[in-house]
Structure 1
Amino acid sequence: MPLRRGAGSLLRHTVTPSPGLATPLRPGLAISAAKSTPSRLQSMRLHATPAPRAENIPGDFDPHAITAMDKQTPPKPGADFNVVIVGAGNINFGSDEGPWNHSFRLEHKLGPRLKVVALIDPSAARADAALKVKRESFVLSAYKDTIVYPTFPDFVKNMKPEQKPHAIWVGSPPAFRGREEQGRDLEKALIEAFPDVGIFIEKPVSTGPVDEAFSIAERLKKSGNVVSVGYMLRYLKVVQKMKQILEENNLKVMSTNARYIMAYEHTAKLDWWDKSQSCGPIVEQATHFCDLSRYFGGEVDLDSVMAHSLEHFEPAGHLRKIPVPEEKIPEDERIPRITCATWKYESGAVGSLTHAVALHGFNYSTEIDVYADGYSLRLVDPYNAPVLYMRKPGDDHEEVIRYGNDDPFFSEVSNLIENIEKGPGSAPILSSYEDAVKTYALTWQIRNKSEESVRKMGKKK
């Protein structure tokens, strides 16, 4: 979390949490997917360098740090801070579907210092529309000189010395990054052009083969660039409180149990229902819960993963309120309705995940349980109104922990900028690129194992 201290408060009481006012995170922009088979995962897991200790440092957790944007001390004037934004879509510029909006956080973190020198997007119309909104607002100074380029190489070729970025914010579709293939190797282009610039990259890191994503991780590690990946739930105060409880009590996690139950009737993007476009709900949507599972449970023995799915053609898989013409999607590419997976962590602990496309209305149901000897830690509704229910030795009742003034999106933005300006380690970066690739590998292993199970059942029939 940001290292500033403020006047926030820790509230403990035992009432049922109020429903979140905002709609839970929706699936992101449709992405073009390449079929991916996690090959050589066992050897890569054994040779991957463990995440630095700095990525798991509950000792730095300050429950009173104010991370909500509207509670921040106004940024002070100072030297310009140049940013290149890659992608003019929802994740960088916001939408009515969720709380994401990286540009908004950058504006609140940097204030009048922010200068967006370039916006990279192949759609000039989309980029111009995003800039028009900004230029008609109080942040005009940050965007009045922004130049739109269709590709990153176009920016590099035309950049003036005074436009050199201090940070690059990547929110482009993952189909065009995390690969070795030319045109899908954005990270390679970034570090070759700017080996000393901080980089933020949205999740998932790719849609391509897992082994290529691991290769990109190795390349980034050697480059020395400070890199942060957008698994923002790690930055929640309640999540850091859970890590603190585990460490301070010297607890070993015995089990994690994650549940992501989606409200589907308003998800009207056809591509999201098409695995060839979105990679499917485990890779695209449940990735945050796979990541939280790893964050608490440690590294997963990928060979231990088992998974089953409920498919669209099975009697129990019929959905009455699908808002898209699913018949336009090839049958083999239609998403599963339910996916249930189990695995072993390398520590011996066990993990499980249930993802369901099942609810109507708007509100999702999302929870993760973490069990250790004498302790039950239950995180509920992390996207909207995060609440931690804790049972500990000597007390059969659950203690309820909430925090106000929390914005994990702002925290991940703020912490990367702190590292850029004050040096590595100035604030916790809770998800490195390599760590994010390990989560990506787990999501693909779950998808592949569930599809293998479907094929085996088909043979039996």
Structure 2
Amino acid sequence: MALRTTLPLRLLARPLTTYAPPLALLQHQLQHQHQYHFRGLRTSTPAPVSSTLSAWDGGKAEPPECGINVDMPVRMDTAPAPPPGDDFHVAMVGAGNIMFGSKAGPWNHSVRLEHKLGPRLKVVALIDPDTARAKSVLETKCASFVESAYKDTKVFPNIGEYARWIEEEGGTKPRAIIVGTPPAFRGGVAGGRNLELQLLEHFPAAGYLIEKPVSTAPIDEVKHVAGRLVQNQNVISVGYMLRYLRCVQKMKQIIHDNNLTIMATNARYSAAYQSIDKPAWWDKSKDMGPVIEQGTHFCDLSRYLGGDIDIATVAAYSVEHDERPGKLSAIPVNEDAIAPDQRIPRITSAVWKYAGGAVGSFTHTVALQGTLYDCELEVWADGFHMRLVDPYNAPQLLVRRPGEDHSELHQFNDDDPFFSEMSAFIDAVEGRPDAHILSSFEDATKSYELTWAIRLASEKSAAMRRAAAAKA
């Protein structure tokens, strides 16, 4: 979903109303000023963290300390120049915005690959049924300084045609395949949505970077695909890029270093619906609804920090389009063209129990207008409260520790989680010793299962409400 970048907070902040406290209170504060912190915050330099263990890439259980070094700049323009080496052959599946970027968001896998591999990058195939679009983006690339990476790229309408070209004409096999297709074509076993199974058939030795959510197929099919991928043991990364945020890795570091037992998580994702003019997003039969299509990032972060979830405990309620609070005034599409039973909920609120005993909650709202989203994630443990704020635009981490009444403020201005994700994937494919893939396909399947459990639970409660209203 498109997320617009925001201006610096200092440019957007409204003037604060002045408040003059009583003189006695001012005198008391001056006498005890060491106990007070303006706005309840103080900045803190992150503590150094030693090298972490390499993460498994096949979906096995990983030690909680696995991650990336939060004190190492990983933005593209601060990364070292790519080292020399042999050509690195890549196949791209999908010629859309995820792969080649757009004005609506920071995603652009091709640019991250170009910076990671430099002149080593050779894109041998671009696969998209819209071959005209594929040829158009290649023309743009070939007119730029990265021409050497794309000048010999072949365009194919599907995986089978690419595999046939290799077999019949001696074409080049890829070391890595970047998958940026819509989720409806992935993660299943039936024809038309079994992309991973096709890749395993034709390119079992390649590494795969696959976008999220992993599919729109039934969860049993997705689990079957996950099992096949784990069995094959090739390198696989799923694009939950928020795991690679240095603020998120700082949270993981704090949890590990203090041996914390998580008590609760609370995630909130507020979409700016006025800017969402894609009709399929408003239709559950197409994009599966906002929790599965959009809230998946925060459901995944909740699992990443809180651990495995007891799916049987998931309960959810919603505000639906046919309820008074669900009447929206600025919907940018013609919702009347969507069947009433396929219109998306306006608010979805869910709770669950983690396998470790903690409680989790998630609220997704279709309520804000304008263009900027509002997203936060909180984590509690004994003496600790961590709050991740605005992870898409200007990430901040607030940490309150035991015995303290204030919060530390952690900010990383040289962070690019998309580049960290791509860099980790390429390092793993090349067998480098400190590669950290943070989201395997098997683990991503668990996040997919959670989003479906939330949707189904909210639909069940909505159906019960409607049935009770009909009897009244």
TM-score, with structure 1 as normaliser: 0.88
CA offset digits 1:325-354 (Å, max 9, x no partner): 111111111111000000000111000000
Tell me if structure 2 keeps the 8 A contact 1:20–1:384: no
The counterpart of 2:462, out of the listed 450, 454, 458, is 454
Q: In the alignment, what sits opposite 2:134?
A: 127
Q: In the alignment, what sits opposite 1:116?
A: 123
Q: Secondary structure at the match of 1:265?
A: helix
Task: Report how far residue 287 of structure 1 moved.
Answer: 0.0
The aligned length equals 416
Q: Structure 1 residue 344 and structure 2 residue 347: aligned? A: no
Q: What is the root-mean-square deviation in Å for CA atoms of aligned residues?
A: 1.7
The counterpart of 1:76, out of the listed 72, 83, 87, is 83
Does 122-131 or 153-162 show the bigger shift? 153-162
The counterpart of 2:367, out of the listed 358, 374, 381, is 358
Counterparts of 2:209 and 2:187, CA distance in 1: 13
Q: In the alignment, what sits opposite 2:245?
A: 236
Q: Structure 1 residue 445 and structure 2 residue 453: aligned? A: yes
CA offset digits 1:294-351 (Å, max 9, x no partner): 0011111111000001011111101111111111111111111000000000111000
Q: In the alignment, what sits opposite 2:69?
A: 62
AA paired with 1:285? Answer: Q
Tell me if structure 2 keeps the 8 A contact 1:259–1:355: yes
Task: Report how far residue 136 of structure 1 moved.
Answer: 1.2
Tell me if structure 2 keeps the 8 A contact 1:20–1:385: no
AA paired with 2:71? Answer: H
Higher relative contact order (CA 8 A, sep 6+): 1
Task: Report how far residue 50 of structure 1 moved.
Answer: 7.0
Q: Secondary structure at the match of 2:430?
A: helix
Task: Report how far residue 361 of structure 1 moved.
Answer: 1.0
Q: Secondary structure at the match of 1:216?
A: helix
The counterpart of 2:330, out of the listed 321, 333, 338, is 321
Counterparts of 2:9 and 2:321, CA distance in 1: 31
CA offset digits 1:209-261 (Å, max 9, x no partner): 00110000000011111100000000011101101101111110000000001
CA offset digits 1:105-141 (Å, max 9, x no partner): 0000001110000000000111112112111111111
Q: Secondary structure at the match of 2:411?
A: strand
Q: Structure 1 residue 299 and structure 2 residue 322: aligned? A: no
CA offset digits 1:370-410 (Å, max 9, x no partner): 00000000000111111000000121001100112111100
CA offset digits 1:353-379 (Å, max 9, x no partner): 000011111111100000000000000
The counterpart of 1:98, out of the listed 87, 102, 105, is 105
Does 412-421 or 189-198 show the bigger shift? 189-198
CA pair 375-57 structure 1, distance change in 2 beyond 3 A: same
The counterpart of 2:146, out of the listed 136, 139, 142, is 139
Gaps of 5+ in 2: 1-6, 13-57
Tell me if structure 1 keeps the 8 A contact 2:378–2:385: yes
CA offset digits 1:408-441 (Å, max 9, x no partner): 1001100011011125x63111000000000000
Counterparts of 2:294 and 2:10, CA distance in 1: 19
Q: Secondary structure at the match of 2:95?
A: coil
Tell me if structure 2 keeps the 8 A contact 1:84–1:169: yes
Q: Structure 1 residue 19 and structure 2 residue 9: aligned? A: yes
Q: Secondary structure at the match of 1:53?
A: coil
| Paired residues for 1:377-456 under 5 Å | 377-423=386-432, 426-456=434-464
AA paired with 1:417? Answer: I
Counterparts of 2:162 and 2:11, CA distance in 1: 40
Task: Report how far residue 77 of structure 1 moved.
Answer: 3.2
Q: Secondary structure at the match of 1:83?
A: strand
Task: Report how far residue 20 of structure 1 moved.
Answer: 10
Task: Report how far residue 62 of structure 1 moved.
Answer: 2.0
| Paired residues for 1:141-220 under 5 Å | 141-159=148-166, 161=170, 163-220=172-229
Counterparts of 2:401 and 2:268, CA distance in 1: 22
Counterparts of 1:454 and 1:208, CA distance in 2: 23
The counterpart of 2:381, out of the listed 368, 372, 391, is 372
Task: Report how far residue 67 of structure 1 moved.
Answer: 1.1
Q: Secondary structure at the match of 1:403?
A: coil
Q: Secondary structure at the match of 1:422?
A: coil
Counterparts of 1:224 and 1:95, CA distance in 2: 33
Q: In the alignment, what sits opposite 1:34?
A: none
Counterparts of 2:360 and 2:138, CA distance in 1: 44
Tell me if structure 2 keeps the 8 A contact 1:206–1:213: yes
Q: Secondary structure at the match of 1:369?
A: strand
Task: Report how far residue 21 of structure 1 moved.
Answer: 9.8
Tell me if structure 1 keeps the 8 A contact 2:59–2:440: no
CA pair 50-61 structure 1, distance change in 2 beyond 3 A: closer
Does 381-390 or 125-134 show the bigger shift? 125-134
Q: Secondary structure at the match of 1:306?
A: strand
Counterparts of 1:376 and 1:428, CA distance in 2: 26
Counterparts of 1:284 and 1:216, CA distance in 2: 19
AA paired with 1:348? Answer: G
**Whose Rg is larger?**
2
Tell me if structure 1 keeps the 8 A contact 2:176–2:206: yes
Identical-residue share of aligned pairs (%): 55
Gaps of 5+ in 1: 1-16, 23-48
AA paired with 2:461? Answer: S
AA paired with 1:346? Answer: A
Q: Secondary structure at the match of 2:349?
A: strand
AA paired with 2:404? Answer: D
CA offset digits 1:173-195 (Å, max 9, x no partner): 11111111123211111122222
